[in-house]
Chain A
Amino acid sequence: MAEKKSPGKEFSKGIIKQNPVLRLMLGTCATLAVTTSLVNGFGMGLSVTVVLVCSNIVISLLRKVIPNKVRIPAYILVIASFVTLVQMVVKAYVPALDKSLGIFLPLIVVNCIILGRAEAFAGKNSVLASALDGLGMGVGFTAACCAMGIIRELIGGGTFMTGLQSLLSVFGEHVLGGFDGVDFFAKFPILEKISLQPMTLFLLPSGGFFTFGILIAITNRIAEGKGEKKAELRDCMHCPMAAACGMQPESCEEAKEETA
């Protein structure tokens, strides 16, 4: 982590190369649970991004003040304050989103993407770099959630962007001409006639895992094409988690020797 990267790289690494969900396998629980529709996935992504950027900035500011031994409780405290803020805002302005995200909104506190970035990045880097890192990771997370949401909603329910108005209700009523998603089966009755049906499996957890696996495969392919090393568990340095892992390589080697 010692090498300095350009600000642009700090931002862009979170989108594909170190995508938090699809490459680092962080925060999968929330991802699988809420991405039954694009709007839900996007709302979740947005909330996480806000919390991530804010907590990264504050933790980076406080990195020289927080004693090493109690850093995790301190990080959690910072993250929890921002999550509470976001939750209150969502409850006040987008109550429908709060309803559909349910428990997963307050659970952002324990989302390992945020704690992972605090531990692996914000606790060691400058404020600007941490903010950019948080933004990039947030965009990567949102993109992954949206991709899963689109696939699962389209195949599992035959709809696209349903519930959009509830998300846009912040800006008043009838934004974008009152566009509230497309229900392909209501719009094109011919689909019903040729006995086409949405595949309910994709709305269930098993379909979520399936979509997740396919997206991981695709992202790995793209990342490898960009010269990123293949995700293999050879030793600590080659671990795909190395970038996000709090353990320093030296201490990791020690831990390995201890177990051996």
Chain B
Amino acid sequence: MKKLTVTSSPHVKSGATVTGIMLDVLIALLPALIAAVHIFGPRTLLVCAVCIGACLLSEYIAEKIMRKPTTLGDLSAVVTGLLLAFNLPVGIPLWMAAVGSAAAIIVVKQMFGGLGQNFVNPAITGRIILLVSFSQAMTTFAAPRAWVENVNAADVVTTATPLAALSQIDRGGNIAAQLTAGEIPPLSDMFFGYIGGSLGEVCALALLIGGVFLIARRVISPIIPCAFVGTVAVIMLIAGKGDWTFMLYELLSGGLLLGAIFMATDYVTSPVNRLGKLIFGIGCGVITAVIRLFSNLPEGVSYSIMIMNILTPLIEKTTLAKPFGFVKEKKEAA
């Protein structure tokens, strides 16, 4: 006979677990991984494996040293590793990938208390640490499909990212002239990912498939990605004086889609309720656009997400939900 147990609330529980959510994210990242292997060759898998392995190892060592239960099984370290790998160029020396992974897990995640306690996104911070430390290696991008002609050519044929060319347009260049001169690839190449760049950011199609999957599985809410991309689109439309092509190029280049779909939506470092998410997304978009348009850096997605991560506690505070039935205390009439 079934026993009747009496417990305190909560009584309604969802079946979502950390492992389940992380698994969903990994599945959503799969199309981008396949695209990256297709575009940049088998070394992609090596970089990803090193990042994931280093993340798992650092997590294990850090938790052993701090005498905490090991949490390798929740797959969060695997997600961090894969996301970090997606932010690296294919030709990066493997030890740098390992250093970035260790910094992401040990410094950003475990030193602040492990999963759920990190104040910024570990993968983003790992990327920024590597970018600041080894700027040359981090911005040497292999040309797309160059590996097909010569398997060992990952570090031979390099190319500029479309973003670098686009920033010339900001300073008075002409997009049509650059297109015919072949300085920037056609829009279809931008969409399918035949451009230079980091592993996971190039193929917009694969990222969108992953994003739709995550939204359909209700793992992420569409608010942050839409607000993020939408804000960048609006600002770029204004900056390009109404030029739709310029705006589309800006949206499809750099790490915008990868960042908006997979990094800005990190539960730990983004606001909980809808208004907060909207503010977060718009803030990311504004900072990204400002960095792209007005600074010397070609790309601003990672910095924008990191800055908004840090602002998240403040956003949470101002967008605090009112408890049901809450009445604002009336000021006593003097």
Q: Which A positions have Cβ atoms within 8 angstroms of B?
A: 195-197, 199-202, 204, 206, 210
Contacts and interface: CB of A to CB of B under 8 A. Distances in A.
Contacts of A206: 132
Chain A CB within 10 A, most for which of B107, B133, B135, B137: B133
B164 interface: no
A199 to B, nearest CB: 4
Contact of B99 (A199, A200, A204, A210): A199
B91 to A, nearest CB: 10
Interface residues of B, number: 11
B133 to A, nearest CB: 4
A195 B132 CA distance: 17
B93 A201 contact: no
A197 B137 contact: yes
Nearest to B93: A195
Interface string B93-104: 101100100000
A202 B103 CA distance: 13
Interface string B108-139: 00000000000000000000010011110100
A200 B137 CA distance: 12
A201 B95 contact: no
A206 B137 CA distance: 20
Contacts of A204: 132
Given A195-B93, A210-B107, A201 B137 contact: no
A5 B107 CA distance: 40
The 7 closest A-B pairs by CB, nearest first: A195-B93, A201-B133, A199-B133, A201-B132, A200-B133, A197-B134, A201-B129
A71 to B, nearest CB: 41
Nearest to B132: A201
Contacts, number: 24
A199 B96 CA distance: 10
8 contacts: A196-B93, A197-B93, A197-B96, A199-B99, A199-B134, A200-B133, A200-B134, A201-B129
Contacts of B134: 197, 199-200
Contacts of A196: 93, 95
A191 B134 CA distance: 15
Contacts of B107: 210
Given A197-B133, A204-B132, 8 more contacts: A195-B137, A196-B93, A196-B95, A199-B133, A200-B132, A200-B135, A201-B129, A206-B132
A202 B95 CA distance: 17
B33 to A, nearest CB: 24
Nearest to B94: A195
Contacts of A210: 107
A232 B155 CA distance: 52
Nearest to A199: B133
Interface string B79-98: 00000000000000101100
Contacts of B132: 200-201, 204, 206
Chain B CB within 10 A, most for which of A195, A196, A200, A206: A195
Interface in B243-273: none
A243 B317 CA distance: 37
A196 B93 CA distance: 8
B143 to A, nearest CB: 20
A154 to B, nearest CB: 14
Interface in B263-304: none
Contacts of A197: 93, 96, 133-134, 137
A120 B93 CA distance: 52
A190 to B, nearest CB: 14
Contacts of A195: 93, 95, 137
Nearest to B136: A197
Contacts of B96: 197
Contacts of B129: 201
Contacts of B137: 195, 197
Contacts of A200: 132-135
